[in-house]
Homo-oligomer: A and B are copies of this chain.
Amino acid sequence: MSRVKQLTVATRGQGLVEFTPDVMRCVAEAGVEEGLCTLFICHTSASLCIQENADPTAREDLERWLCRLVPEQDRLYTHTLEGADDMPAHIKAALTATSLSIPISNGRMVLGTWQGIYCWEHRHGSHRRRVAVHIG
């Protein structure tokens, strides 16, 4: 048996938003002892990331590093109609994860001690990002 649910993650501008508890709830509700939890983000200007959930400075550095690698002001861009943050957002999404799969064992995801699941917003505005969750 497999099931697909949809989560919504509210973001407020660029950065990583943790939603590990929401995914944990999906896994608990599915009642699967051994299986696989797969996340898929239904957008091309936001992505998924598993990162350290202990020290927030790690995520801040990660965000600033990626913004420096993919700056908004770049004469290379021709796709500029949707705003200065749109093309960098697509590039950042291509460099990071659109889908992630996490095995489930003993009814729980096998996340490492410091691993959190994040929605990575690459645009400036606030968005409601849809993440499909498949548990099989």
Q: CA–CA, A77 to B36, complex, Å? A: 35
- A contact residues, range: 35 or more
- Copy count, this protein chain: 3
A22 contacts chain B at the CB level, 8 A cutoff: no
Q: Is the CB of B101 within 8 A of A38?
A: yes
* Contact status A65-B61, CB under 8 Å: no
Q: Which residues of B contact A77 (CB under 8 A)?
A: 61
A50 to B35, CA, bound (A): 23
Known: A55-B81, A60-B79. 19 other contacts (CB 8 A): A2-B34, A2-B36, A35-B134, A43-B115, A44-B52, A44-B112, A51-B90, A51-B94, A61-B76, A61-B78, A61-B90, A62-B90, A64-B76, A65-B91, A68-B76, A102-B132, A104-B134, A110-B132, A112-B130
Residues of A within 8 A of B (CB): 2-4, 6, 34-36, 38, 40, 42-44, 49-52, 55, 57-58, 60-62, 64-66, 68-70, 74, 76-79, 81, 87, 90-91, 93-105, 110-112, 114-115, 130, 132-134, 136
